[in-house]
Structure 1
Amino acid sequence: MSAILVVDDEPNIRKVLKGLLNKNGYTGVIEAEDGKQALEMADENNVELVISDINMPNMNGLELFEKVKDRDFPFIILTAYGTVETAVNAVKNGVYDFISKPFDEAELINTVKKALSEKKERENEPVFTDEIFEIYFDSKNPGVQRIKDSLSKAAKTKANILITGETGTGKGLLACVVHSSGPGKTAPFIKVNCSAIPENLIESELFGYKKGAFTGAAMDKPGKFELADKGTIFLDEIGELPYELQAKLLSVIQEKEITRLGDIKTVKVDVRIIAATNMEIKKALEEKNFREDLYYRLNVVEFELPALRDRAGDIIKFAEYFNKKYADEYGLKPKKFDENALELLKRHQWKGNIRELENVMQKILVMEDECIITRAAVEKYVSPGYSGAGKKKGVFFEEGWDERAKKEVQLIKDALEKTRNNKTKAAKELGISRRTLLYRIKEYGI
Structure 2
Amino acid sequence: MKGNDPVKLLLLMRDTQSRLMLQDSLEPLGIVVIPCDDEEKFFELSKSGDFDLAIVTHGKSEFHADNMLRKASAFQSMPVIVLATECSIEDAIRIMQAGAEDLVLHPWEEQTLKVAIEGALINFPLRQKKSLQRLRQKQRNIVCKSPKMLKVLEIARSIAPSKASVLIQGESGTGKELLARFIHQESDRRNGPFVAVNCAALPDTLLESELFGHEKGAFTGAVTRKKGKFELADKGTILLDEVTEMAVSLQAKLLRILQEGEIDRLGSTSPVSIDVRVIATTNRDIKQAISEGKFREDLYFRLNVIPLTLPPLRSRTEDIPLLAEHFLKEFSKEYGKVGLIFANNVMEELMSRRWQGNIRELRNIIERGVLLARGREVTLEDLFFDENEVNQSEGISEGSMALNDMFNLQDVEREIIKKALVKTGGNRTHAAKLLGISVRTLRNKLSEYRKMGLVL
Question: Taking structure 2 as the reference length, what is the TM-score of the superposition?
Answer: 0.66
8 A contact 1:114–1:196 mirrored in 2: no
Could you say which residue in structure 2 is the equivalent of 1:423?
none
Whether 2:168 is the aligned partner of 1:163: answer yes
Q: 1:366 to 1:285 in 2, by over 3 A?
A: same
Say if 1:124 and 1:355, in contact at 8 Å, map to a contact too. Answer: no
Alignment of 1:139 onto 2:146: yes
For the 8 Å contact 1:195–1:241, the answer to whether it is kept is: yes
Following superposition, the deviation at residue 153 of structure 1 comes to 1.7
User: What does the per-residue CA deviation read over 1:357-413, in whole Å, with 9 as the maximum and x for residues that have no partner?
Assistant: 111111111123243334344332577989xx9999xx98766x9357248555x58
| SS across alignment from 2:141 | helix
1:289-328 to 2 correspondences below 5 Å? 289-328=294-333
Q: 2:50 is matched with which residue?
A: 60
The one-letter code matched in structure 2 to 1:227 is L
Task: Give the whole-Å Cα distance in 1 for the aligned partners of 2:191 and 2:413.
Answer: 42
Structure 2 CA distance for aligned equivalents of residues 360 and 224 of structure 1: 34
- Candidates 421, 435, 443, aligned match of 1:405: 421
CA deviations 1:45-95 (Å, max 9, x no partner) are: 9xxxxx9899632x6221779xxxxxxxxx9996988986x65xx6xxxx7
Please, which of 256, 261, 267 is the counterpart of residue 256 of structure 1? 261
User: Residues 403-442 of structure 1: matches in 2 within 5 Å?
Assistant: 405-406=421-422, 408=424, 410=426, 412=427
Corresponding residue number in structure 2 for 1:419: none
Counterparts of 1:354-433 in structure 2, within 5 Å, are 354-380=359-385, 402=418, 405-406=421-422, 408=424, 410=426, 412=427
Q: 1:277 to 1:231 in 2, by over 3 A?
A: same
Aligned residue type for 1:41: P
User: What SS class does the counterpart of residue 249 from structure 1 fall into?
Assistant: helix
Residue identity opposite 2:52 in structure 1 = L
Q: What is the aligned residue count?
A: 361
Identity of aligned pairs, percent?
35
Q: 1:124 to 1:340 in 2, by over 3 A?
A: farther
Q: Are the counterparts in 1 of residues 216 and 224 from structure 2 also a CA contact under 8 Å? A: yes
Q: 2 CA distance for matches of 1:27 and 1:321? A: 30
Of 234, 239, 242, which residue of structure 2 is paired with 1:234?
A: 239
Please show how residues 194-273 of structure 1 align to structure 2 within 5 Å. Answer: 194-273=199-278
Any conservation in 2 of the 1:175–1:274 contact (CA below 8 Å)? yes
- Cα deviation digits, residues 316-367 of structure 1 (max 9, x gap): 1101111011101111134332343211111111111111111111111112
* Secondary structure class of the residue paired with 2:278: strand
Q: Which residue of 2 aligns with 1:107?
A: 94
Structure ranking higher on relative contact order (CA contacts 8 Å, 6+ apart) = 1
Q: Mind listing any 5+ residue stretches in structure 2 that lack a counterpart?
A: 1-8, 20-31, 56-64, 84-90, 116-134, 395-407, 444-456
Contact 2:47 2:74 in 1 (8 A): no
8 Å CA contact 1:331–1:436 kept in 2: the answer is: no
CA RMSD after TM alignment: 4.6
* 2:334 match: secondary structure: helix
Q: What's the offset of the Cα at 1:244? A: 1.3
Aligned residue type for 1:367: L
Q: Which amino acid aligns with 1:215?
A: T
Give TM-score scaled by structure 1 length.
Answer: 0.67
How far apart in 2 are the matches of 1:257 and 1:132? 32
Give the superposition deviation at 1:200.
Answer: 1.7
Distance 1:398 1:280, change over 3 A: farther
Contact 1:128 1:177 in 2 (8 A): no
Give the conservation status (yes or no) of the 8 Å contact 1:236–1:275.
yes
Amino acid at match of 1:161: V
Structure 2 CA distance for partners of 1:214 and 1:27, relative to 1, 3 Å: farther
Greater Cα offset, 277-286 or 320-329: 277-286
- Note if contact 2:424-2:430 (Cα within 8 Å) is conserved in structure 1: no
1:347 and 1:125 mapped to 2: Cα distance?
33
What amino acid sits opposite 2:185 in the alignment? S
Larger CA deviation: 257-266 vs 177-186 = 177-186
For residues 266-294 of structure 1, the C-alpha deviation after alignment (integer angstroms, 9 at most, x for no partner) is 11111110111111112112222111100
Aligned match for 1:41, one of 35, 44, 55: 35
